Each structure stands twice: as structure tokens, then as C-alpha cells.
A = this chain, B = another copy of it.
Amino acid sequence: MSPYDPADFPPFAVTVDLVVLTVRRDALCALAVRRGESPFQGCWALPGGFVRADEDLAGAAGRELSEETGLLAYDPGGPVPAAGGAHLEQLATYGDPARDPRMRVVSVAHLVLAPDLPAPRAGGDARSARWAPVESLLGEGPGAARDGEQAVRLAFDHGRILADGVERARSKIEYSSLATAFCPPEFTVGELRRVYEAVWGVALDPRNFHRKVTGTPGFLVPTGGTTTRQGGRPAQLFRAGGATLLNPPMLRPEV
């Protein structure tokens, strides 16, 4: 093989696509943007865009994220849990020759876990953006189109990418402290439990959950404050501790 010669390899376009997840009103939601151009004009799609010539992949993902949502990724490049800051990590790369009808595009998908935000901000190019429950985007389960939520089909292979991202999030909160990335900087044990319940779609025993998370060293750090924002007896407030790997892991009940 001779040294790199333009004739040796076909040129590719490289993009980043973002699976941005949050928990809103006890449901796992993903950020979707409306496409303004063909193909799939008017369809919902994942946010994303081209990687620039001088840009790292994680850097491109962080830039797209802030352009689309105003969110700042806490640490592009490495998985770092941080309550109140968005977590960003690489998800997988999609390169089917037919995934874009116009040209050869390889997309490096990234996964973002964000706390609940006031409202999504549409990009500068006037496309609209919304948080949609993942089940309505994936056609998953019986509630796929309930409550006036429209079941939609995402553009390109974005349905597959979203499904992979959701699966990654579901399994990762099991053995890491990443669930705190869905929470505000200070949160209660009950709020953290509702995150697990929304992401997994199951009910957890509040008493055993409380014992488990407070008993796992490094997971939660009490701030000393309390809150009654959920009603009932005042609850202690916590910040995310430094631990990233949970040992033993949280146990996801059988489905």
C-alpha cells in the first residue's frame, strides 16, 4: 500500500448527532428538532451537525449542544458525573452507506444526560425544538401515543440511535452514579429515586432505595440543607459525591 493518496480512499462527511436525555414530569424525554430541509423535511430528528476541520469529536458535540440548548457539557471528552451539569459521552458511530440518501455520511453519536431545564431553545436557524417522551419517539410500550403525544418517526436512522442511547442510559445508571446528572445541583433521595423510576419505567421501594443510596460510599454527600418542595416531611438535600462506579450496583428489578 502506498502512502496516503487521495485516490486510495473515498471522502466522507463526518457529523455528530446528539441523544439529549432529561427527566420531565416523571418521564424520560429526549430533545428533538424539526428539520427545515429535505430529505425528511418537517420530520423530527436528533440535533447535530458537521464536524469542523479543526475540531475534536467531543468538541463538536459540545458545540452543537450549546448551540441547540444553551447547555454546557460538564466535561466533554470524559464521562464525569455532575449534578447540575450535563454529562456528555460518546455513544456509537453509524455509517451505513445508505443512511443518508444524498452522500456518504458517518455520524458519531453522543449521549447527553441533562437536568430538567426551563425550556429548549431553538437553534439560530429557526428550527423548532422540543422535549418528547422517548416512548412516543420510539413507539415503545402502551403509552406510546397517549396524552395527545403524537407518535413520530424520526428522520434517517435516528430512531435506532435514540434507542441505543436510551439503552445505554438505562444500563449505565445501574452501575454508575450517572443518574445524578439528571438532577439539579442539590436534590433529595426521593428526587433521585424518581429519576431511576422514570428511566427504568419501574416502581422502587422508597425505604430500601433510601438505605441503598445513602449507604453507598461516595455516591451522595449531604449538604446539610433540607427542602419540602415535594411535600410531606422535610427531606435532606444532597450533592453528587465523587464516586463514579457504584459497588455494589443498583439492582434493576426484572421486567
Residues of A within 8 A of B (CB): 1-4, 8-15, 36-38, 49-57, 90, 92-97, 102-104, 106, 108, 125
Minimal beta-carbon separation of A16 from chain B (angstroms): 10
Which of B8, B10, B93 meets A108, CB within 8 Å?
B93
Minimal beta-carbon separation of A172 from chain B (angstroms): 12
The distance in angstroms between the C-alpha atoms of A104 and B55, with both chains bound, is 10
Minimal beta-carbon separation of A214 from chain B (angstroms): 22
Q: Describe A's contact surface by its main secondary structure.
A: loop
CB-CB < 8 A to A92: which residues of B? 90
The distance in angstroms between the C-alpha atoms of A92 and B37, with both chains bound, is 30
A13 touches B12 (CB 8 A): yes
CB-CB < 8 A to A3: which residues of B? 37-38, 102
CB-CB < 8 A to A1: which residues of B? 36-37, 49, 125
Q: Which residue of the partner chain B has the closest CB to A56?
A: B96
The distance in angstroms between the C-alpha atoms of A50 and B3, with both chains bound, is 12
A102 touches B54 (CB 8 A): no
CB-CB < 8 A to A53: which residues of B? 10, 97, 104
Minimal beta-carbon separation of A34 from chain B (angstroms): 13
